[in-house]
């Protein structure tokens, strides 16, 4: 559909042949009969060359929703005026309606239960007027934070109570009474439009000036005094003495490396395991090759030639072979002696998931010919060579000069032959590569994201000082940028939405990642940094806010996210002191919506909090404890909260084990339980599960702090290193130990992110590493 503005009073809608004209025709028939000064006027429709042109009145002020997103809540007199004008256009329709069309949040109970009650009449519009009045006062309709189907379900229950205005003091008794009349649950007792117009709330003198003032306020938001504060909001947090931009320090000599950093380039790892219950199945990008460009001085030009020239210089069969076999990685971000290893596809499929299920990898992104800052804004006209990263010896710049000069096909084919020969003697595997040196942040968690516009790949860190990001495509200018200034203890990326537990009150937030990056980019252009930490969260109207609190989530301790492989539905679960909240991802709205809030006293401390998908159940079970098995051959027993139950929520563990480190669902009936010094692989009933490809128990000679599941092994991290053991044989596959460093796993959601600090000074600045160089790096 195309919208054309003819003049200040008329606009034209143009429908193309691919659209459903039958539905539009029904709308036209209805609009012909609706003639009122408060209804958008219909002037006519014309069919010309398979295109339908509809001429209608142009309303330049926009919808009320657009207006209150700018102005904030309407005043009571403005709400009264809007309600009165709406009631004047509601006319009786004698015939009962039996359709189920509309938005659930404004839907009357009889409409939600139309199949059971057999129809409804014009009184459902009275209910919608009451809901709209609440919306204009509170900026959203009642139950708006619930999933739409959950809202419908609640409205059809016999004990459903009509909504009310939340603030009893702010609004007058007349307004409260008007809402109560409009939202009468029984449609037979609900007043008609004529009777409701006699209510004191709308029968008072109300001038058209109220609407004009509202439009002026929307058109001049700078002069408005919109402050949508929550009374129970905590005070804005004081800033921590950490800059918004943090540059990595450099160690350009081998002598400056730690023992573990030297070993990182020599020990190879399998790609991380893609579990069936992982919510994200987006196409992956390989930043292993791109990381080489920024971190190694060895044969940078060969790598770039592979990326840019391979599609034109090779046949289709050769391209496919190169895509499968030319993955590479490097040792470290310092100069000299960087190793490049070949990483073909794994010989054996994953023990928990066939390799064929891994989504295909798109071609690597093109690299920009000019440097940019890590947030993607334009670079200065003059390159500061003196302040460039020490590891950049100019070969990167010389390569770009070479790349942009004309070459014959013979020249390019020679380079490709050299490149092919160079990698023919390489080995498979990925390694840990340093991405940041000397980080001052107290990091709690890490995740990653690909910008859909630039295809740049970012690490995102949650720290005491706020949320920070690092662009992996620009490690030659290694700089962290602050995205959000509040304390953060948990992060998760769903599409382009960032979820976090942030602030002093530990509340769930939903952030627009593209909005956060654009906001940070704009702040870079300002001569003086704006202290955003001093601005209340709701100073900016919701329509333009890039970070929003998820209602009723203060005091959130932990969160987990899971995908039901049977249905494809994705769920977010939050743990509170005495309750559990379950939300479902709604793709059309790009947000999580509340499904259930379960009152249940959780164990303290809460060692385990994971969701387990069960085939017979709609919602996943929420595992909050693990105890020793009581039945025959049962090694563990899962204590779970069952959101599907209507009676007893908890099914559960007797005496919870205090040494449970981690619980994760590898396959539909395969659960990995990590204990103090061993890992048990069990089914949903807690019984050991073993096969020729999967050992039932893996044992370690140290106290495990965290684990990462790789395709053919489990990588366990302890205080001074890591050890990998084969899923099949329980044999050691990799091992790195360094008593001079303290290691901590920060995240393994899409990218494995590792932190290390000196043992003799645990509060010193940390070094950050990622597992890179394989096809599933991201």
Average pLDDT, integer, range 29-37? 76
Looking up tokens 């994760």, which residue turns up? 664
Query: Distance between CA atoms of 357 and 362, rounded to whole angstroms?
Result: 15
- Which 3 state secondary structure label does DSSP give 717? strand
Average pLDDT, integer, range 675-694? 87
pLDDT at position 26 is 74
Least confident of 135-139, 406-410, 439-443: 406-410
Average pLDDT, integer, range 315-331? 41
35: pLDDT confidence band, cut at 50, 70 and 90? confident
Element (H, E) at 175: helix 173-182
Q: State both tokens at 193.
A: 């439009």
DSSP 51: E
Domains and CATH numbers, the chain: 2-57 (3.30.200.20), 64-223 (1.10.510.10), 245-375+390-423 (no CATH)
Query: Distance between CA atoms of 768 and 432, rounded to whole angstroms?
Result: 10
pLDDT at position 354 is 42
Query: Distance between CA atoms of 328 and 429, rounded to whole angstroms?
Result: 8
DSSP 102: S
pLDDT at position 20 is 65
Query: Distance between CA atoms of 138 and 179, rounded to whole angstroms?
Result: 13
* Parallel, antiparallel or unpaired: strands 51-57 and 42-48: antiparallel
657: pLDDT confidence band, cut at 50, 70 and 90? low
pLDDT greater at residue 588 or residue 117? 588
**Residues near 82 by Cβ (< 8 Å), separated by ≥ 6?**
64, 74, 132, 133, 136, 211
Average pLDDT, integer, range 264-283? 79
Whether 31 and 83 have beta carbons less than 8 Å apart is answered as no
Neighbours of 350 (CB within 10 A): 24
102: pLDDT confidence band, cut at 50, 70 and 90? low
Residue 622 pLDDT more than 80?
yes
754: pLDDT confidence band, cut at 50, 70 and 90? very high
- Per-residue pLDDT tens digits for 175-209: 999 999 989 888 888 888 888 888 899 888 888 88
**Residues near 70 by Cβ (< 8 Å), separated by ≥ 6?**
217, 218, 221, 224, 226, 541, 543
Whether 464 and 487 have beta carbons less than 8 Å apart is answered as yes
Q: State both tokens at 242.
A: 């950490």
Q: What percent of the chain has pLDDT over 90?
A: 27
pLDDT greater at residue 653 or residue 481? 481
**Residues near 193 by Cβ (< 8 Å), separated by ≥ 6?**
87, 88, 90, 91, 122, 125, 126
pLDDT greater at residue 70 or residue 730? 730
CA-nearest of 675, 674, 637, 680 to 659 is 675
**Phi-psi bin for 580: left (phi > 0), alpha (psi -120 to 50), beta?**
beta
pLDDT at position 481 is 92
Query: Distance between CA atoms of 289 and 329, rounded to whole angstroms?
Result: 6
CA distance readout (Å), 48 to 13, 53, 290:
13, 8, 53
pLDDT greater at residue 392 or residue 753? 753
- Which 3 state secondary structure label does DSSP give 223? helix
2: pLDDT confidence band, cut at 50, 70 and 90? low
- Per-residue pLDDT tens digits for 535-546: 454 444 455 578
Q: What percent of the chain has pLDDT over 70?
A: 67
pLDDT greater at residue 72 or residue 639? 639
Residue 768 pLDDT more than 90?
yes
pLDDT greater at residue 305 or residue 496? 496
pLDDT at position 701 is 92
Length of the chain counted residue by residue: 778
Average pLDDT, integer, range 218-232? 52
Query: Distance between CA atoms of 62 and 70, rounded to whole angstroms?
Result: 11
Torsion sign over Cα 444, 445, 451, 457: positive
pLDDT greater at residue 219 or residue 341? 219
Query: Distance between CA atoms of 557 and 537, rounded to whole angstroms?
Result: 21
Residue 385 pLDDT more than 50?
no
Whether 66 and 214 have beta carbons less than 8 Å apart is answered as no
pLDDT greater at residue 123 or residue 533? 123
Alpha-carbon dihedral 26, 28, 29, 30, rounded to 10 degrees: 90
pLDDT at position 37 is 76
**Residues near 376 by Cβ (< 8 Å), separated by ≥ 6?**
451, 454, 456, 471, 517, 521
DSSP 526: S
Neighbours of 235 (CB within 10 A): 7
- Per-residue pLDDT tens digits for 511-563: 999 999 888 887 766 554 444 444 454 444 455 578 988 888 999 999 999 99
Residue 50 pLDDT more than 80?
no
Q: State both tokens at 115.
A: 């199949």
Whether 361 and 349 have beta carbons less than 8 Å apart is answered as no
**Phi-psi bin for 438: left (phi > 0), alpha (psi -120 to 50), beta?**
left
CA-nearest of 115, 144, 146, 141 to 128 is 141
752: pLDDT confidence band, cut at 50, 70 and 90? very high
pLDDT at position 153 is 80
Residue 52 pLDDT more than 70?
yes
pLDDT at position 381 is 40
Mean pLDDT, the chain, rounded, equals 74
pLDDT at position 483 is 93
Q: How many CA atoms lie within 13 A of 509 on its CB side?
A: 29
390: pLDDT confidence band, cut at 50, 70 and 90? very low
Q: State both tokens at 160.
A: 């459903």
Helix segments in 183-286, DSSP class H: 193-196, 200-203, 209-219, 259-264
Query: Distance between CA atoms of 369 and 754, rounded to whole angstroms?
Result: 31
**Residues near 762 by Cβ (< 8 Å), separated by ≥ 6?**
742
Burial annotation 155-179 (CB, 10 A radius, 16+ → b, else e) = beeeeeebbebeeeeebeebbeebb
Looking up tokens 């001052």, which residue turns up? 440
């Amino acid at each position: 559909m195309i919208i054309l503005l003819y003049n200040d009073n008329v606009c034209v809608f143009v429908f193309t042949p691919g659209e459903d004209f039958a539905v539009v025709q029904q709308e036209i028939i209805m609009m012909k009969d609706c003639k009122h000064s408060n209804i958008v006027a219909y002037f006519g429709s014309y069919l010309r060359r398979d295109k339908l042109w509809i001429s209608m009145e142009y309303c330049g002020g926009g919808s009320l929703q657009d207006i209150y997103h700018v102005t904030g809540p309407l005043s009571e007199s403005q709400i009264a005026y809007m309600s009165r004008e709406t009631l004047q256009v509601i006319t009786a329709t004698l015939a009962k309606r039996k359709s189920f069309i509309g938005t659930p949040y404004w839907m009357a109970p009889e409409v939600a239960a139309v199949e059971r009650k057999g129809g409804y009449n014009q009184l459902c519009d009275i209910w919608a007027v009451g809901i709209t009045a609440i919306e204009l006062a509170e900026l959203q309709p009642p139950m708006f934070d619930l999933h739409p189907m959950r809202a419908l379900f609640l409205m059809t229950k016999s004990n459903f109570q009509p909504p009310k205005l939340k603030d009893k003091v702010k609004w007058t008794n007349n307004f409260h009474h008007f809402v109560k009349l409009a939202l009468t649950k029984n449609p037979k007792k609900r007043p008609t439009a004529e009777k409701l117009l006699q209510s004191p709330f709308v029968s008072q003198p109300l001038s058209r000036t109220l609407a004009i003032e509202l439009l002026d306020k929307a058109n001049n938001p700078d002069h408005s005094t919109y402050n949508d504060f929550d009374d129970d909001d905590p005070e804005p947090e004081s800033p921590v003495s950490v800059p918004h931009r943090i540059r990595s320090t450099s160690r350009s000599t081998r002598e400056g490396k730690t023992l573990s950093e030297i070993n990182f380039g020599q020990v190879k790892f399998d790609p991380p395991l893609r579990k069936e219950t992982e919510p994200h199945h987006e196409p992956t990008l390989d930043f292993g090759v791109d990381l080489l460009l920024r971190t190694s001085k060895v044969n940078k030009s060969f790598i770039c030639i592979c990326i840019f020239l391979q599609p034109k210089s090779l046949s289709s069969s050769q391209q496919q072979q190169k895509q499968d076999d030319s993955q590479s990685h490097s040792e470290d971000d310092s100069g000299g002696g960087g190793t490049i290893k070949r990483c073909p596809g794994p010989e054996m499929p994953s023990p928990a998931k066939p390799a064929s299920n891994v989504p295909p990898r798109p071609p690597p992104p093109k690299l920009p010919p000019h440097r940019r800052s890590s947030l993607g804004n334009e670079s200065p006209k003059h390159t500061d060579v003196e302040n460039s990263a020490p590891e950049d010896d100019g070969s990167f710049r010389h390569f770009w000069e070479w790349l942009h000069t004309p070459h014959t096909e013979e020249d390019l084919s020679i380079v490709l032959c050299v490149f092919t020969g160079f990698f023919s003697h390489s080995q498979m595997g990925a390694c840990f590569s340093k991405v940041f040196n000397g980080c001052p942040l107290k990091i709690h968690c890490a995740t990653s994201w690909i910008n859909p516009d630039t295809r740049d790949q970012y690490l995102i860190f949650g720290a005491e000082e706020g949320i920070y990001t690092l662009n992996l495509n620009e490690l030659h200018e290694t700089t962290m940028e602050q995205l959000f200034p509040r304390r953060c203890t948990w992060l998760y990326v769903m599409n382009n939405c960032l979820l976090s537990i942030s602030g002093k009150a530990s509340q769930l937030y939903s952030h627009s990642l593209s909005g956060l990056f654009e906001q940070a980019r704009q702040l870079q252009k300002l001569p003086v940094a704006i202290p955003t930490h001093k601005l209340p969260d709701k100073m900016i109207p919701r329509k333009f806010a890039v970070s929003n609190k998820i209602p009723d989530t203060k005091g959130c301790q932990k969160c987990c996210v899971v995908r039901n492989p049977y249905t494809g539905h994705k769920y977010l679960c939050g743990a509170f002191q005495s309750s559990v909240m379950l939300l479902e991802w709604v793709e059309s709205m790009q947000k999580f919506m509340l499904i259930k809030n379960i009152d249940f006293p959780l164990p303290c401390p809460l060692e385990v909090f994971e969701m387990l998908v069960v085939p017979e159940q709609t919602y996943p079970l929420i595992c909050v404890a693990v105890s020793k098995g009581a039945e025959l051959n049962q090694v563990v027993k899962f204590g779970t909260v069952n959101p599907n139950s209507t009676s007893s929520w908890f099914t559960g563990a007797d005496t919870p084990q205090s040494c449970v480190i981690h619980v994760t669902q590898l396959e539909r009936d395969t659960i990995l339980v990590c204990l103090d010094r061993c890992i048990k692989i069990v089914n949903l009933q807690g019984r050991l599960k073993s096969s020729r490809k999967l050992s039932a128990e893996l044992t370690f000679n140290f106290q495990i702090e965290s684990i990462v599941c790789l395709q053919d092994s489990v990588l366990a991290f302890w205080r001074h290193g890591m050890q990998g053991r084969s899923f099949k044989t329980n044999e050691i596959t990799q091992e790195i130990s360094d008593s001079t460093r303290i290691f901590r796993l920060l995240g393994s959601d899409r990218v494995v992110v590792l932190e290390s600090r000196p043992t003799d000074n645990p509060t010193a600045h940390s070094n950050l590493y990622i597992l890179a160089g394989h096809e599933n790096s991201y």
